[in-house]
Amino acid sequence: MSLLELKDVSMAYGGKVFALQDINMTVEKGEWLAIMGPSGSGKTTLMNIIGCMDKATSGTVVLDGIDLTDVDHQQLTTLRRDKIGMVFQQFHLIPYLTAVENIMVAQYYHSLPDKQEALAALDRVGLKDRAGHLPSQLSGGEQQRVCIARALINYPVLILADEPTGNLDEANEKLVMNIFHELHDEGHTILTVTHAPEVGREAQRAVIIEHGRIAGSEAKAE
Amino acid sequence: MAIALMAVAVGATIISGMITVYREIPQQMGREFRAYGANLLILPGKDRTTLSGEDVKKINDSLNGYEIVGIAPFLYERLKINEQPILTSGTDFSMLQKVSPYWQITGSWPQAEKREILLGAEQAQRMNIKPGQTVLVSAGNDADEETFVVSGIVHTGGKEEQFAFVDLALLQKMLQKNGQLSLAQISIVADGAALESVSKMISQNYPEVQPQLVKQIAHSEETVLSKLQALVLLVTVVVLLLTLICVATTMMAVVTERRREIGLKKALGAENSNIICEFLGEGCVLGFFGGILGTGLGYLFAQVVSMNVFGRAVEFAPSIAVFSIVLSIVITGIASLIPVRIATSVEPAIVLRGE
Ligand SMILES: Nc1ncnc2c1ncn2[C@@H]1O[C@H](COP(=O)(O)OP(=O)(O)O)[C@@H](O)[C@H]1O
Ligand SMILES: [Mg+2]
């Protein structure tokens, strides 16, 4: 069984404008898939549906064996907490909390804060010595690595990253992509969204969407 | 947040201050009102025409639990002054000044034991007499005339202006009524209910006298007091409402400011109950500290008001402090309700949209 399966998924904001139309795709466990497409093509909308933040207007989404079509708001929150790890273009670190505290926030809402584990997660992304820094004292690349550490802390089955390198320079982009490669090698399932082809090509496979429809796909030539 | 803290503190200041003043008003104003004359009369009991000095002394002793401003004895008799029959009262002038501090004297009060007389303004005008002049006083048609110096003229705006006043002992001697009184006026610090019970106590324990409340003053005292308290209450309620609005607005701004943070927390799996607890908790902490700050300031505020208005210090009341701190917490709690609702309605999806 696939980890994620989308069948005829459509999304219409306000019941009129179709942001997504008839999306069919599957993601296998341990796979790294990129979703590519120009700005406004519906990538983020798709992320929101897969990330249990929004519900599709029609179609079925099955995540880790659970059909998202008939879960309520409360269950969606629980699924999001337990199954998904999210990495954002704007990092979304809480400005008045240190790096390690930002990770502990995710632990707090999931189960219990555990500082040792949070520190280990920071170590995992090479930021052990930055644990006590505020986001404002970290570079963009470092903030994104804190964000990745936070996404990993509750052992998600699926890592979603929306334009993870969108706000980073080339050197930091490389650093972050290396982490994704490592995570993939460790067996994590990753879904990255990008409008930049060179970032998309890092993944095993890419799905291209245009105007809310799947316009094609390409597999990495190994 | 600092603004909300200020708002709560100011609200708590006004409220604790107002409640302190509110509680002090009856006591303090009761004292103030004593400037408007006696509130209790002691008249001779049934079948008697006079009181004795002893009676008055006994009653004075029986009131030792109360704050007595003064007890003024009076003996009334119609005397002839410059051949005019004028109702004249013998009294203790030092006591009279305590009981009726509002009397206005042109000239000076008569001195005790001296042949001096205080004329009511109306009589003085009718007889065309000025302070310092002398008048001839006699106790009756056959009695000897005696010369009295008019020490002063009294204005009260009341019936006293038709009377004349002389030293009590002197009048008693002239009339050969040693130790006899017509009535005594008492000015006592007590509110309506307490006054009633004093009156009841006197009429039960001392049948030889008959107490009578000076209804007019006691009544208007009550009316003014209740109006003042209503005013204080109104101001307090208005301040409460303003505090509520101010805190709600600030909390609203805080929620708006933290939209992204709320969205992120929800994206991380925070439930609405988590968000509600966080904001209400923050509101309660705010209310607690604002309340403490405001209660302290409110005590100072009440102190200043009391010192300026009543000329007396107020005591710190722990119950008021606890009440206003709890009230501050409740108010911030209520004020947080709408902002918290807005916070729970934030969609987690905003974190991906990059708003
Ligand atoms: N909350 C929303 N309400 C209405 N329209 C939206 C909303 N979010 C996205 N859209 C629209 O849906 C389309 C796809 O947007 P989005 O998924 O953000 O694209 P992408 O992430 O690929 O740039 C756009 O036309 C956008 O204007
Ligand atoms: Mg997007």
Q: Which fold has domain A29-58+66-219?
A: Rossmann fold (3.40.50)
Average pLDDT over residues B296-321: 84
- The percentage of chain B sitting over the pLDDT mark of 70, rounded to a whole number, equals 96
Average pLDDT over residues A2-25: 91
CB contact under 8 A, A86 and B267: yes
Nearest CA to ligand 1 atom 14: A42
d(CA A47, CA B279): 29
The contacts of residue B304 (CB under 8 Å, 6+ apart) are none
**C-alpha pair distances (Å), B70 with each of B60, B99, B189:** 9, 5, 10
Task: State the sign of the Cα–Cα–Cα–Cα dihedral B35, B40, B41, B42.
Answer: negative
The minimum-distance atom of ligand 1 relative to the CA of A46 is 17
Nearest CA to ligand 1 atom 2: A13
Nearest CA to CA, how far is A126 from chain B (Å)? 22
Q: Given pLDDT bands bounded at 50, 70 and 90, which one contains residue A221?
A: low
Average pLDDT over residues B149-155: 93
Least trusted range by pLDDT, from A132-141, B95-104, B267-276? B95-104
Delimit the domains of chain B by residue range: 2-30+222-353, 38-213
* Residue A66 reports pLDDT greater than 90: yes
Task: Tell me which chain A residues have a C-beta less than 8 angstroms from the C-beta of B351.
Answer: 86, 88, 90, 92
Nearest CA to CA, how far is A54 from chain B (Å)? 7
Give A19-50 pLDDT, tens digit per residue: 999 999 999 999 999 999 998 899 999 999 99
Nearest CA to CA, how far is A141 from chain B (Å)? 18
CB of B166 closer than 8 Å to CB of B90: yes
pLDDT of residue B11: 85
Three-class DSSP category at B334:
helix
The minimum-distance atom of ligand 1 relative to the CA of A17 is 5
Three-class DSSP category at B333:
helix
Pairing relationship of beta strands B134-138 and B180-181 according to DSSP bridges: unpaired
Backbone angles phi, psi at A132, to 5 degrees: -90, 5
Delimit the domains of chain A by residue range: 29-58+66-219
Q: For residue A164, report the distance from its CA to the centre of ligand 2, in Å.
A: 11
Higher local confidence (pLDDT), B225 or B70: B70
Query: Ligand 1 pocket by C-beta < 6 Å: which residues?
Result: A 13, 17, 19, 37, 39-45
pLDDT of residue A184: 95
End-to-end CA distance of chain B: 23
Give B324-336 pLDDT, tens digit per residue: 899 999 999 999 9
ipTM more than 0.85? yes
End-to-end CA distance of chain A: 25
- The percentage of chain A sitting over the pLDDT mark of 70, rounded to a whole number, equals 99
Three-class DSSP category at B271:
coil
CB contact under 8 A, A110 and B260: no
Give B187-226 pLDDT, tens digit per residue: 888 877 888 888 999 989 888 899 988 876 666 777 777 8
CA trace torsion B346, B349, B354, B355 (10° rounding) = -30
- The percentage of chain B sitting over the pLDDT mark of 90, rounded to a whole number, equals 33
Give B133-146 pLDDT, tens digit per residue: 999 998 877 778 88
**C-alpha pair distances (Å), B297 with each of A11, A42, A198, B13:** 58, 58, 64, 5
DSSP secondary structure string for all residues of A140-192: HHHHHHHHHHHHHTT--SEEEEESTTTT--HHHHHHHHHHHHHHHHTT--EEE
CB contact under 8 A, A88 and B352: yes
Mean pLDDT, chain B, rounded, equals 87
